Amino acid sequence: MANRHLARTIAMQTLYEWDFRGLKNPEIAELVEKNLKEFAPEFSDNGFTKKLVLGVVENKKEVDEIIKVYAPEWPLEQITTVDRNILRLGIYELKIASDIPPKVAINEAIELAKTFGGESSGKFINGVLGSIFKKMEEAGEQKIPVEICAGGVVVRYDRGEPLVLLILDPYNQWTLPKGHVEENESIEDAALREVQEETGLQAIILKEKIGVAEYTIQKGSKSKNSTIQKIVHYFLMETSETKLSVDAKEAIKDAKWYASQEALKIFGYENTKFILKEAVNIISQK
């Protein structure tokens, strides 16, 4: 077995055990050492196994969000523990690790799935990672950081008619309130917090999670431009409050209530417009 394939095998076994036993993150380094001694006592990988495992664990939140986007029909907890951690390892190597060619990351993950997974694991892993790589190629992406965000379509009713909240961003485009999910913060809490910080509104999340938007943005100056992939979770929210309070520190120029169809007409971003359309469809049926 080639050295790096063996390292990936031990990394996958370690992640499986960490996940299955519900171990805490600080325990993972010790588990790597234990498994290296147990399964490959004469193996010298120059720290590659540990680098893979720690990379997955440290980026677990972002990696899991990518799985949710590209395998939406499979809730994360319903994916087998083996397949879940092969995906985590493959996505880390494909999207985040700087020294692994994409096709190597995909092929190695498929081989792990064929060896340790079920009958259809190889096809499943190939499908998910292949879709991610296709999107990367279409966007001209290489290895780019992922930012997890959350926001909402906020609705209030005026004499029985639904009004939708839009904000005017620094680029003079009407859009939805959203923002970065902080460490140890749930996506739902982040969505509510961002709405309050950007508009002053206290809202509640209704049952419906509208959807997830994924796109890339450019940050920085022309000379030092960097690409960031954003994954934004949107929730349908409701409020009884009418007064809007825009905080200049949030770089929001304005916020207004609009009738549903008017909101759709002036909405500024095609890559997110489907979220607003879905929300309008839901509230029109109530």
- Ordered per-residue pLDDT tens for the chain, 286 residues: 457 888 899 999 999 999 998 888 778 888 998 988 888 887 777 688 988 999 999 899 889 999 999 998 888 889 999 999 999 999 999 988 877 778 888 989 999 999 999 999 999 999 999 999 998 888 776 666 778 899 999 999 999 999 999 999 999 999 999 999 887 888 899 999 999 999 999 999 987 678 888 777 776 654 445 677 788 889 999 999 999 998 777 789 999 999 999 999 999 998 889 899 999 999 988 7
Q: Are strands 146-158 and 226-238 parallel, antiparallel or unpaired?
A: parallel
Question: What are the residue ranges of helices labelled H in the chain?
Answer: 3-21, 28-39, 48-58, 60-70, 81-91, 102-116, 121-138, 187-199, 260-266, 270-284
Strand partners, 232: 149, 213
Task: Provide the pLDDT for residue 147.
Answer: 83
Quote the pLDDT of residue 11: 94
CA distance 277 to 282: 9
Alpha-carbon distances, residue 164 vs 45, 49, 206, 249 (angstroms) = 56, 50, 14, 23
Other CB atoms within 10 Å distance of the CB of residue 198 = 25
Find the helix or strand (DSSP H, E) in which 40 lies.
none
pLDDT of residue 141: 65
Question: Looking at residue 208, what is its pLDDT?
Answer: 66
DSSP 8-state assignment for residue 96 = I
> CA-to-CA distance for 127 and 272, rounded, in angstroms?
25
Lookup: tokens for 96: 């985040």
Q: What is the pLDDT of residue 223?
A: 44
Residue in the structure block whose two tokens are 């998910």: 128
Q: Which of 241, 73, 239, 268 is nearest to 153 (CA)?
A: 239
What's the pLDDT at 258?
97
Q: Full-prediction pTM beyond 0.75?
A: no
Domains and CATH numbers, the chain: 3-138 (1.10.940.10), 146-284 (3.90.79.10)
User: Phi/psi at 5 (nearest 5 deg)?
Assistant: -65, -40
